[in-house]
Structure 1
Amino acid sequence: MRVLFLTIVLLIQGIGNAQKIDCSIQINEYQEFLSVRNFADAKSPWEFVAKNCPKQSVSVYTDGIQIYQYQIETASTPEDKEKSVRELMKLYDQFYKNFPENAQDFEIKKAMALVDNGIDSKDEIFALFENGFAKAADKVTEGNTIFNYFKSYNEKFIAGDKKISTEKYIEKYAQLNQLLNTLLVANASKSDEYQATLKSLKSISKEVINCDNLSEYYEKNSAANDQNQQWLESGLELLKPKCSNKPIFLALAQKNYDLKKSVKSAEYLAIASLKNRKSDDARKYYEESATLEENQIEKAQKYYYIGTSLYNNNLPKIKEYLSKSIAIDPKNTKAYVFLAETYANSAERCGKNDFEKKAIYSLAVQTAKKVLFHEPKSARIVESIVAKYNAKALAKDEISKAKLTGKSYKIECDINETIEFSSAK
């Protein structure tokens, strides 16, 4: 009896080992075909592996996806194409069954297989997207996938689906908008794709995502979410473009700032303050946002905005913030240009006489030229500034006559700058 038992065990082990050997042989065979893009001949040995060794490797499924994609692309009839699409969808199911950690977004992939191949099955596509995004939205990195999900959602809403209220529609839009903004930060190389998707979502939702609907939604739900910073920031991002003058924007901005002081929360509160004509508060919070900003280019841009937008006719403050911007980013051409323009615009007011007025225009020319040391590509812009103010600036003979060749000249008023005159004749 014991001998019989051992014989059976050895027989089972032998069959198992034979199966492993067979799978290895078949894997090598189909992968050789795939290496030369011979998908047709790769299919038979691949099918053997998929059937007999479904847990062999993740590559069994990624390779199978390639084979079915080829089969879909070369289908001779719409019926054959859909049949291959359905086979691909079954493969995604098997992938998830055997390697769930590697295929969490399998339902989203199935939906996109139907979308990409023009299979008219809208209810099925919508259901797959709904389930897939509920389980694995964080696995999505393609803007086109996000757009097609929202397009499907939008079509259901327009068709009058009773399960999708205006409130749910706004929630879905906010969710996908936030996902895209997260991807923008995480994957800057695809920023054009994500920006285009954001614009597309905005375009197809414009009848619903308006100030009235957004204000009503966030007013209704703000109390329940006043400790949810992610929800608050998502709402602020949606309201910011056209609805930042609404009371709800200020309310959300204040709650968000009170939860956590950050670059974003300070900026939102600065925008809200500005829209509510609280200029001092706007300056304070923009300054805080700039101080907290770690990205140096962004920090320079924030200082540029403060100087050029929040201190109208206050030349010392304009100089202060533009100087901060230039110190951080010496290639910031527009900061030099704005400062040069500001000096030139002050010539008539600050110049006590004709000589001083011309000296101020000379200062404007010299200021614009400074950027060329750091950013030679700005030459064309600088040339236009020089051409604009050179005719009004001091000529060499005027500088010589004033015995200032190779010397400096202090310009008072609120410009408070010293101009250096070249010693070259």
Structure 2
Amino acid sequence: MKAIIFIFGILFITNSNAQKFDCASKIIEYQELFKAKKITESFDAWSDVRKNCPKENEAIYTNGLQILQYKIDNAASPEEKEKLVRDVLKLYDQYNKNFPLNTPDFEVNKAMVLIANKIDSKDEIFNLLDSGFAKASQNIIDANAIFTYFSMYCEKFNSGDKKITANAVLEKYSLVNSLLNQLQTSKPENRDYKTAQNAIDNLIKDLATCENLDAFYSKNYPDNQENTDWITSALMSLSGKCSNKPIFMTLAEKLYALKVTAQSANFLALGNLKQRKFTEAIKFYNESAELQTNSLEKAKIYYTLATGLLANDLPKSKEYLNKALTSDSKMGKAYLFLAQLYSNSANDCGKTDFEKKAVYYLAIQTAQKAGIAEPRLKPTADKMAKDFEAKSVTTAEISKAKMNGISLTIGCWINETITFPAK
């Protein structure tokens, strides 16, 4: 009974102390200083709030991270700096304790604080990343954190760490691949994810041979055949040099069966292409383009078709180049390819010598559009146009043929009308 009374007494004293501390006023005090960029002055008031009002407001932690980082950046000595960095780590622990739903990746954030502030503690950093990725990989959006974790994992494997096998590295590769693929899909404007992907692919190029990837994904497919993220990651890993492996087509067909998307259709198109099933490949590339909501990606698919599978079907190639330009009016390379197609058909589509030269005139105009649409291509476009000039109709020839200000329609597959200048 005395113990119970004692506990209630402690709780009463604690509550009384909390009530005596005016959390609301103190929060306003430090935040006004913080907003006025008086960071040093805000520190003491913020510290009191952190101690006495830990659950009052999440901003206590988000502001606190900025306040402490300011003090770190202005630390007088390495010892003071590390002490402050350690305080940031404690703040992350406190943040997670009081707002756990908002901080699932707090361990990864702690690791990145150590890295950003150049604290030499590799084992600690790796352990924080390893734990953080194991617990909350789907909440991690920092491209640098994903790359850092995988690079440290590879470093341990390459140094002979017996706890990390080749199979474990490939499993980790599959994880980070999946994360980066999801992030590139949800945040296509962020190029950091693609950069991280390329860097990771380079790190593992000696281990991730087609033979090893084929064996790894074939072995693990039965346990993951309903896991769209895992299958997508596998297909991303294989889609470069290894898309001719049988497992690629197996995975592509399964992903498409589970979920029809622009991406799954694209994988299936690639699989059919590698098996030389060209009609099926064209079908699925078209479906991928139709399902694609990103106009730039849609344009890329149409351009790939126009310059690849449909390149020998001139009317179709032109049709798909125009589709690409409709989706992305700044795709200068589509104009360049179309200009080259025109020039290659001058003799076939021109009935007279004048018309043949007129086709080159059209090719010049088309090439010049590339430089306008995409300025970085102007040197290439200008060179191409200059090459065509030697075979094009001249100003004198236009005048001699009395075509100044007159339009000429080129038939054949080109089916374009050229209007010559009045003078």
Residue of structure 2 in register with 1:177 after alignment? 177
- Aligned residue type for 2:356: K
Residue of structure 2 in register with 1:424 after alignment? 422
Could you tell me how far 1:356 is from its partner in structure 2? 3.7
Tell whether 2:120 aligns with 1:94.
no
In structure 2, distance between residues paired with 1:265 and 1:53: 50
In structure 2, distance between residues paired with 1:106 and 1:294: 34
Q: CA-to-partner distance for each residue in 1:289-310, whole Å, 9 max, x for gaps?
A: 1222232332223222211111
Q: CA-to-partner distance for each residue in 1:188-244, whole Å, 9 max, x for gaps?
A: 4432x2222222222322232222221110111122222222211111111112212
Tell whether 2:389 aligns with 1:390.
yes
Q: CA-to-partner distance for each residue in 1:94-138, whole Å, 9 max, x for gaps?
A: 221122123222212222222223333333222221222222233
Could you tell me how far 1:378 is from its partner in structure 2? 7.1
In 2 relative to 1, CA 171–404 (structure 1 residues): closer, same or farther, beyond 3 Å? same
Tell whether 2:413 aligns with 1:415.
yes
In 2 relative to 1, CA 27–321 (structure 1 residues): closer, same or farther, beyond 3 Å? closer
Q: CA-to-partner distance for each residue in 1:127-168, whole Å, 9 max, x for gaps?
A: 221222222233322222222222232233223333332222
In structure 1, distance between residues paired with 2:395 and 2:127: 78
Give 1 or 2 for the bigger CA radius of gyration. Answer: 1
Residue of structure 2 in register with 1:269 after alignment? 268
Relative to structure 2, which stretch is displaced further, 228-237 or 180-189?
180-189
In 2 relative to 1, CA 74–252 (structure 1 residues): closer, same or farther, beyond 3 Å? same
In structure 1, distance between residues paired with 2:230 and 2:311: 35
CA contact (8 A) 2:371 2:377 kept: yes
Identify unmatched segments of 5+ residues in structure 1.
1-7
Superposition map of 1:50-61 within 5 A? 50-61=50-61
Residue of structure 1 in register with 2:3 after alignment? none
| Pairs aligned (count) | 413
Residue of structure 2 in register with 1:3 after alignment? none
In 2 relative to 1, CA 355–146 (structure 1 residues): closer, same or farther, beyond 3 Å? same
CA contact (8 A) 1:410 1:416 kept: no
In structure 2, distance between residues paired with 1:320 and 1:258: 30
Superposition map of 1:226-265 within 5 A? 226-265=225-264
CA contact (8 A) 1:340 1:367 kept: yes
- Aligned residue type for 1:341: Q
Could you tell me how far 1:263 is from its partner in structure 2? 1.1
- Aligned residue type for 2:193: Y
In 2 relative to 1, CA 86–349 (structure 1 residues): closer, same or farther, beyond 3 Å? same
User: Any idea what SS the aligned residue of 1:243 has?
Assistant: coil
In structure 2, distance between residues paired with 1:62 and 1:390: 64
Superposition map of 1:6-405 within 5 A? 15=16, 18-21=19-22, 23-191=23-191, 193-351=192-350, 353-368=352-367, 382-399=381-398, 401-402=400-401, 404-405=403-404
Q: CA-to-partner distance for each residue in 1:233-288, whole Å, 9 max, x for gaps?
A: 11111111221222222222222223333211121122222223222222222122
In structure 2, distance between residues paired with 1:146 and 1:73: 25
CA contact (8 A) 2:181 2:233 kept: no
CA contact (8 A) 1:408 1:418 kept: no
CA contact (8 A) 2:367 2:385 kept: yes
CA contact (8 A) 1:406 1:420 kept: no
Could you tell me how far 1:348 is from its partner in structure 2? 3.3
In 2 relative to 1, CA 351–130 (structure 1 residues): closer, same or farther, beyond 3 Å? same
Q: CA-to-partner distance for each residue in 1:58-82, whole Å, 9 max, x for gaps?
A: 2222233233323433444443333
In 2 relative to 1, CA 303–129 (structure 1 residues): closer, same or farther, beyond 3 Å? same
CA contact (8 A) 1:399 1:405 kept: yes
User: Any idea what SS the aligned residue of 1:241 has?
Assistant: coil
Relative to the length of structure 2, the TM-score reads 0.85
- Aligned residue type for 1:120: D
User: Any idea what SS the aligned residue of 1:294 has?
Assistant: coil
CA contact (8 A) 1:337 1:368 kept: yes
CA contact (8 A) 2:266 2:285 kept: yes
In structure 1, distance between residues paired with 2:19 and 2:162: 57
In structure 1, distance between residues paired with 2:15 and 2:416: 93
User: Any idea what SS the aligned residue of 2:417 has?
Assistant: strand
Q: Over aligned residues, Cα RMSD in angstroms?
A: 3.1
User: Any idea what SS the aligned residue of 1:312 has?
Assistant: coil
Relative to the length of structure 1, the TM-score reads 0.85
CA contact (8 A) 1:343 1:415 kept: no
Identify unmatched segments of 5+ residues in structure 2.
1-8
Residue of structure 2 in register with 1:4 after alignment? none
CA contact (8 A) 2:30 2:46 kept: yes
